[in-house]
Structure 1
Amino acid sequence: MTAPMYVPHFLVRQKITLMVNRYQIFAANPDGSEGELLAFAQQKRMAFKEQVTFYADESKSRTVFSFRARQRLDVHAEHDVYDEQGVELGYFRKAFGASLLRSTWQLTGGGIDAVGQERRLSIAILRRVWNLIPYIGDIWVPFVFHFDFTDTMTGQTVLVSERRKSIRDQYSVTVPDPRLDFRVAASMAVALDALQSR
């Protein structure tokens, strides 16, 4: 069964500003370049209860979907994804224990239960060691890391997020499973950047 809103390939680009994180989500053209703007997301920094709102465009005149944490300041917090009417579409959460060595997320929506991990254990370990070294850990390094999400029942890939080599955070997101709604996939893709360090 295909999700009500299915997008097989899209791109996420972060826009850095002083008080908020902003993300642009574009359709991907066949050649991999940016197509039409699908959504514009905004996350307030230092919020007690995490929430990211997605708008139809940068005017922010129409909310199209969102995700927010159920709990305040909790490393185990589940994040629910909602459509523009506030109907829940799915949820995701970081698996804290499994993430100590290699970042791991659980994703549910549209009949899918999936687990996503950093693709390369060596990069996961290097990122953690880098942050532990005094003075050096404060130097920003754009580690290129990718996440692969697989269905826990079938083992099939449902979502792939690959960070592009660039100074600003940019991701290419592929959704091979048509059951995964774009709004859930886009929320998870943005969360992988916005919440990764938490």
Structure 2
Amino acid sequence: MQQMSEFLVEQKITAFVNRYVVTGPDGRGVLAFAEQKRLKLKEQVTLWTGEDRAEVLAGFKARQVIDFGATYDVTGPDGAPIGSFRKDAKASLLRSTWHLAQGEAPSARGTERSLGVALARRAVEVADAVLPIPLPVPFVYHFDFARGGEPVMSVERKWGIRDRYAVRIEDPALDRRLALCMAVAMDALQSR
């Protein structure tokens, strides 16, 4: 998997947990599987190498209890640190923004590609807060991560009923486990 540069992340909705399946770009061959328990005070998500949960691939955990600007540490199966990410709460007021860090390298900044889509999504979120039924979000959104003007990775939401994301890694030094944790988190934590 460390050699691959494209993945597909698909959410499977269930009653009490969000499940994510990571495959190759063609949607075949499960490369990773993740679960997020809902309503936890301290977010923690584990990625396994398959749906059988036999072997841990990586995971991420919030450093603090629910916080809009929380930092999440990403670790490998042995608990060794891989990197971290956090949502930039202030910058995210207009356009969702994330910071992704690995090792000593400067962090990569990921922002929504389209300001227009970002503002339209916020309008739907406001309407959802006042209407008795939730509105469907008819927008697909994309994030581009860059460091020093150089592309690092992109996450593009695909059209469809289920949440599906195409993840493209452009920096060969970026740990794929960190990239996949970031992609899962973007869906699981996006509305926070």
* C-alpha displacement of 1:141: 2.1
Distance, in Å, in 2 between the alignment partners of 1:190 and 1:112 is 22
Distance, in Å, in 2 between the alignment partners of 1:19 and 1:11 is 23
- What is the identity, as a one-letter code, of the residue corresponding to 1:148? D
Q: Which of 117, 128, 138 is matched with 2:134 structurally? A: 138
Q: Which of 171, 174, 178 is matched with 2:172 structurally? A: 178
Match of 2:82 in 1: 89
Pick closer, same or farther for the CA change 1:140–1:165 going to 2, 3 Å.
same
Distance, in Å, in 2 between the alignment partners of 1:64 and 1:183 is 7
Q: What secondary structure sits across from 1:35 in the alignment?
A: coil
Sequence identity (%)? 47
RMSD between superposed Cα atoms in Å? 1.5
Distance, in Å, in 2 between the alignment partners of 1:125 and 1:47 is 29
Is the contact between residue 7 and residue 23 of structure 2 (CA under 8 Å) also seen in structure 1? yes
Distance, in Å, in 2 between the alignment partners of 1:119 and 1:102 is 9
Alignment of 1:22 onto 2:19: yes
Q: What secondary structure sits across from 1:105 in the alignment?
A: strand
Alignment of 1:169 onto 2:163: yes
Pick closer, same or farther for the CA change 1:136–1:114 going to 2, 3 Å.
farther
Higher relative contact order (CA 8 A, sep 6+): 1
Give the 5 Å matches for 1:115-130: 115-130=109-124
* C-alpha displacement of 1:112: 4.9
List structure 1 segments (4+ residues) > 4 angstroms apart after TM superposition: none
Match of 1:150 in 2: 146
Distance, in Å, in 1 between the alignment partners of 2:41 and 2:172 is 34
Cα shift readout 1:81-110 (whole Å, capped 9, x = no counterpart) = 000000000000000000011100000014
Q: Which runs of 5+ in 2 are unaligned?
A: none
Q: TM-score, normalised by structure 1?
A: 0.91
Q: TM-score, normalised by structure 2?
A: 0.94
Match of 1:9 in 2: 6
Distance, in Å, in 2 between the alignment partners of 1:24 and 1:112 is 29
Distance, in Å, in 1 between the alignment partners of 2:46 and 2:106 is 23
Q: Which runs of 5+ in 1 are unaligned?
A: none
Alignment of 1:109 onto 2:102: yes
* C-alpha displacement of 1:35: 3.0
- What is the identity, as a one-letter code, of the residue corresponding to 1:181? D
Alignment of 1:79 onto 2:72: yes
Cα shift readout 1:96-141 (whole Å, capped 9, x = no counterpart) = 0000111000000143510000000001001111222332872122
Distance, in Å, in 2 between the alignment partners of 1:109 and 1:16 is 30
Match of 2:181 in 1: 187
* C-alpha displacement of 1:45: 0.4
Q: What secondary structure sits across from 1:122 in the alignment?
A: helix
